[in-house]
Structure formats: structure tokens, C-alpha cells
Amino acid sequence: MEKDKLEIGVVLEAFLDHSLEDALQFLSTNAPEVSFVEVGAGGYAPHPHCDIEDLLANKQARSNWLNLLEKYNIKLDAFNAWGNTLHPNKEIAKAHDSALRNAIRLASELGAERVVAMSGCPGGVVHLRLLTLVQVAGFRILRECILNNGKNQ
């Protein structure tokens, strides 16, 4: 970032009813100050702007996706995969865990340095030890992805 230059990002959840290209074109035309986007990638975060499975499986799709952002002079700031990986409903927990792991893998593949997530359980008091375990687990997942270049073990 240039000294004294403010950089602005937008969470694309504000554009759920628009395609990625329409959202980027709108931002480029109407808010040229915007230089970054945060993109929903699963969990509770809607993700119409990125097909996680296709992007993880297809190098050309990743290249095309990044080229679209570049076309509008916008960079990827973060993926958002907020969810409850410790949800008491095992199906929800498993889906959110998978979404978070896939968002971390995709961030690694696309060069994003951030993945937005949350910890805790719905409708209950989070004990400090539980919160620490969630944080440690999240850092362990991130570390594994970095060490394995975003690939599954």
C-alpha cells in the first residue's frame, strides 16, 4: 500500500443477486475507490461468486477467476467461510468444517492471505478452553495447508 493511500474493500454478500462480473463492473464504475473484495466461500456465508469445488479442482478456472478480478483492478482480500465447526448438530459441524478447510485451501491456491471464520457454538456460553481449542485447530489447519501447499494430506 502506498503511504497515505486509503484502500477500501467490499464484502460481496452485498451483491448476492448479481454475478461476480456484474458486481465487479458496478464497483469499478460506481465506486472506483474499492480495490479489494471479500468473497463468500461457504458455511453460513452465501457464495454465488465462487464455485469452490470447481476452483479447487481446476487450475484454468482459478486463473479465469483471478483474471476477472484483475480486469476490474480489484484484488481478493479474503474468503469468508464463517460457520459453526463445533455445532452440536454433527451434519452442520461437518459441513462447516469442510467449508472452512476448502476456503483455506482455495485461499492458498489463489494467493489470498486471509480467511474469515468464527469459532464457538450456537446458543451457548463458550468456555475459554473450548475457544482455545478452536483457535489451535484453526491454526493447525492453516499450517497444514501452508506446509502442503493447500493440498489434502
Using one digit for the tens of pLDDT, what is the confidence trace for 82-108? 888 888 888 988 999 999 999 999 999
Domain count across the chain? 1
86 close to 121: Cβ distance less than 8 angstroms? yes
pLDDT for position 86: 81
Average pLDDT, rounded, for the chain: 82
Q: 18: which 3 cell numbers?
A: 448479481
2 domain residue, yes or no = no
CA dist 110 and 56 (Å) reads 10
52 domain residue, yes or no = yes
Average confidence (pLDDT) per 10 residues, the chain, 153 residues: 77 92 95 94 90 96 97 95 85 92 95 83 49 48 53 48
pTM (2 decimals)?
Answer: 0.75
Range of the domain at 103: 8-147
CATH of the domain at 57: 3.20.20.150
Biggest alpha carbon distance in the chain?
48
